[in-house]
């Protein structure tokens, strides 16, 4: 049985080329332990390619590469030709086809797909965090959060938490009710990452009435009464003053606008 040796060359981690090479090799060697595979990751200098080609010649290896820079692809192709080596370019042809289709040039920046993957998983993690620590369900989330939102009911804490989570921020939100003592964790965090959401009593009165109607209830419940709302807002004021956090009036602001204000405050703190 002819020995099979594969050199995997990448300007990033090399996982893509490694998986493709294994898939191809498995069609000839059911036991991949009989296949010698050597991965060369983060290859970004042309001098490295010359050394890899030298080693590949000594071991009669097939060179499989994923290099995003056209100059690096040309270099390894030349080195393989000079050394009589077989080589496979897994990215070059596809990059060319895509470039011609969209009439654009590639960035030629190694590792972009990994950055995109990491960005995606950070977003998912932040969204799950916002759900887990929504509406004060677990005060421990206050200590773990990047941003903490406090406010009375119906001040857009939940949609704002989700919006910020899509921007990859871990957000916990805590409702403030006069009859319930706020969690101690609120007074243990850096006040710069805490934001109080306040709203006009009359605007909140209208929002709460609509909410009651949507639930099939009468709109004259205590929850929507202006007197009750003013009592809650007074309690809110006492709590945020104790925390020492920034207060944002959300009466006539869209969620996106409030989010941008918060992120601006964070960047300046």
What's the pLDDT tens digit per position in 62-118? Answer: 999 999 999 999 999 999 999 999 999 999 999 999 999 999 999 999 988 877 778
How buried is residue 19: exposed, middle or buried, by Cβ count under 10 Å (0-12/13-18/19+)? exposed
Q: What is the CATH number of domain 114-268?
A: 3.40.50
182-184-190-195 Cα dihedral, nearest 10 degrees: -10
pLDDT, tens only, 169-181? 999 999 999 999 9
- Domains of the chain by residue range: 4-110, 114-268
The pLDDT assigned to 237 comes to 97
Measured CA to CA, the distance from residue 76 to residue 82 in angstroms comes to 10
Residue 105 tokens, joined: 């040039």
The pLDDT assigned to 220 comes to 81
pLDDT, tens only, 158-204? 999 999 999 999 999 999 999 999 999 999 999 999 999 999 999 99
pLDDT, tens only, 29-71? 888 778 999 999 999 999 999 999 999 999 999 999 999 999 9
Same fold yes or no, 4-110 and 114-268: yes
Q: What is the CATH number of domain 4-110?
A: 3.40.50.2300
Annotated binding site for ADP: 151-158
Which residues fall within 8 angstroms of residue 253, CB to CB, at 6 or more apart? 261
The pLDDT assigned to 2 comes to 82
Annotated binding site: 151-158
């Amino acid at each position: 049985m002819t020995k099979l040796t594969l050199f995997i060359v990448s300007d990033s981690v090399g996982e893509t080329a490694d998986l493709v090479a294994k898939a191809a090799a498995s069609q000839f060697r059911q036991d991949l332990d009989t296949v010698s595979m050597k991965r060369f990751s983060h290859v970004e200098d042309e001098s490295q390619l010359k050394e890899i080609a030298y080693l590949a010649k000594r071991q009669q290896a097939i060179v499989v590469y994923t290099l995003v820079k056209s100059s690096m692809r040309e270099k390894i192709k030349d080195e393989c030709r000079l050394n009589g080596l077989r080589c496979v370019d897994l990215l070059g042809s596809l990059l060319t086809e895509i470039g011609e289709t969209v009439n654009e040039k590639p960035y030629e920046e190694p590792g972009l797909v990994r950055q995109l993957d990491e960005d995606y998983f950070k977003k998912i993690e932040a969204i799950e965090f916002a759900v887990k620590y929504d509406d004060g369900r677990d005060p421990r989330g206050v200590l773990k959060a990047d941003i903490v939102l406090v406010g009375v009911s119906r001040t857009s804490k939940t949609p704002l938490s989700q919006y910020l989570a899509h921007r990859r921020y871990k957000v916990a939100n805590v409702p403030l009710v006069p009859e319930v003592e706020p969690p101690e964790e609120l007074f243990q965090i850096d006040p710069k990452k805490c934001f109080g959401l306040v709203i006009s009593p009359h605007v909140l009165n209208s929002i709460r009435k609509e909410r009651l109607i949507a639930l099939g209830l009468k709109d004259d419940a205590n929850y929507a009464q202006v007197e009750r709302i003013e009592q809650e807002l007074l309690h809110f004021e006492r709590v945020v003053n104790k925390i020492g956090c920034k207060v944002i009036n959300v009466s006539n602001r869209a969620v996106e606008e409030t989010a941008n204000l918060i992120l601006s405050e964070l960047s300046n703190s």
